[in-house]
Amino acid sequence: MSVPNICDETDNGEEDDEFKETTVLRRRRRSNKEISARDSIIYKYDTLCHCEEECRCQVQQNLRESTAMEVIDTTTRRSVIDFMVKEDVVKGGMNLRSNDYGHYIEITDTRNKYPSNMALRHTDNILGINNQAVDQYHHFIVLEMFRNMIKSSTEEPLSLIIERQEENGNKEILEIEVNVEVEFQYEPIVKVDAHVCHSSSYDLNIRCVQYLECIDCRIHNGGKTNYYVTTDKIDNIHMRPLRHSDKKKNIFKCYKFHGLCMQHGRQPVPMFIGVFQSYEDNQFIMASSKTTLSLINIPTKLNTNMRQITRADPRFFVVSRTGSGHSYFESLQHRGSYWKFNENTLQLARRSNMEAMSSYDSHFRFVPVD
């Protein structure tokens, strides 16, 4: 459907002070059910892996010992993927290339068995490794997690989530199950077998994206008095009353964007998007799974000049308004997952838009900070 001059005709003159109510994107119909590609795959990541801190320590050690990393430009890193099996290094025949758009596989040795045995192709974009969404993680963290995938035999299949672009230009999200068998004789004998167990195509196209403003604010839960989104010393997210000891850990930089979600054969749907950054550092609230909110450190500055969104970022949340003036937040990556206040915790809950609109535990309000 042609939409002439749609960007120029959009009037945002009334949106200066706060997010206004917006219609939520409808998912494409498939087999008479409304489901998106990322719903059916990424949603299987129910828990956040706790190995990140261990990986950071290993990364620091490896950086001192390894010279395999190549700095291509200010935003791109490339490193050789060597699998760590006990104390032995096994050549993987691949590189990991990371930039602002993701973590990509580069096959460097077509005779090496590991890329094909792991069902990987050149330019595959790594989105998840073993129950953890990694597309916003630093290059070295993803590299270390990948290197340690086949260090021992697996009782349960390992999991890779990748984004693959086919020759016709279509993109698919694939889930790959990886089985590993390691035998130790004079040297480790590693047998790797993998298969694609699920695949889905997806299409995200938000055009005419405009950056509105960034405000310093607290995020107050509308269903319980004096409870605010707060981080702690180890960067967990909580809901708790204001306390002097928290200082600025309950203040966030709230970035506001507006765009038009393009749907084939339908009128564009106006959409407001929020990104929430800790006031004191570069930690962003992120949907790490369909039920988990976490903080992630992004060293680069948020791009406020983007004009189109074609790839869901786990930091992006669709912001909608209730009739009472409260806001409720839906993950742009995990559609159908909404912020929910539960006891003293903040998490994502699977629910319909109508349920989120009518549930006080999903209602929040921005409280500006002078």
What pLDDT, in 10s, does the model give residues 287-296?
887 888 888 8
Tokens 């089985």 belong to residue: 179
CA 16 to chain centre: 28
Where residue 31 falls among pLDDT bands split at 50, 70, 90? very low
Tokens 């950086």 belong to residue: 63
Tell me if 298 sits within 8 A of 136, measured CB to CB. yes
The amino acid at 336? G
Q: Which residue has the higher pLDDT, 266 or 147?
A: 147
Domains of the chain: 79-178 (no CATH), 205-368 (2.80.10.50)
pTM over 0.75: no
198's torsion region: left (phi>0), alpha (psi -120 to 50) or beta?
beta
Cβ–Cβ contacts within 10 Å for residue 34, how many? 13
Helices and strands counted in the chain (H then E): 5, 22
Closest of 194, 193, 190, 138 to residue 162, by C-alpha: 194
CA–CA distance, 344 with 40 (Å, rounded to integer):
29
Summarize the chain as % helix, strand, coil (round to 5). 10, 40, 45
Query: Quick one: tokens of 47?
Result: 């828990």
Tell me if 93 sits within 8 A of 111, measured CB to CB. yes
Alpha helices (H) in 82-134, listed in sequence order: 114-117
CA–CA distance, 338 with 336 (Å, rounded to integer):
6
pLDDT at 221 over 80: yes
DSSP 135-160: TTS-HHHHHHHHHTTTSS--SS-EEE
pLDDT at 52 over 60: no
Tell me if 208 sits within 8 A of 260, measured CB to CB. yes
12's torsion region: left (phi>0), alpha (psi -120 to 50) or beta?
alpha
Overall residue count recorded for the chain in this entry: 370
Q: What is the pLDDT of residue 215?
A: 93
CA–CA distance, 171 with 160 (Å, rounded to integer):
16
Query: Quick one: tokens of 307?
Result: 């004009």
Q: What is the pLDDT of residue 186?
A: 62
pLDDT at 327 over 90: yes
Where residue 210 falls among pLDDT bands split at 50, 70, 90? very high
Where residue 94 falls among pLDDT bands split at 50, 70, 90? very high
Tens of pLDDT, residues 229-266? 988 766 678 888 887 777 788 899 999 999 998 876 67
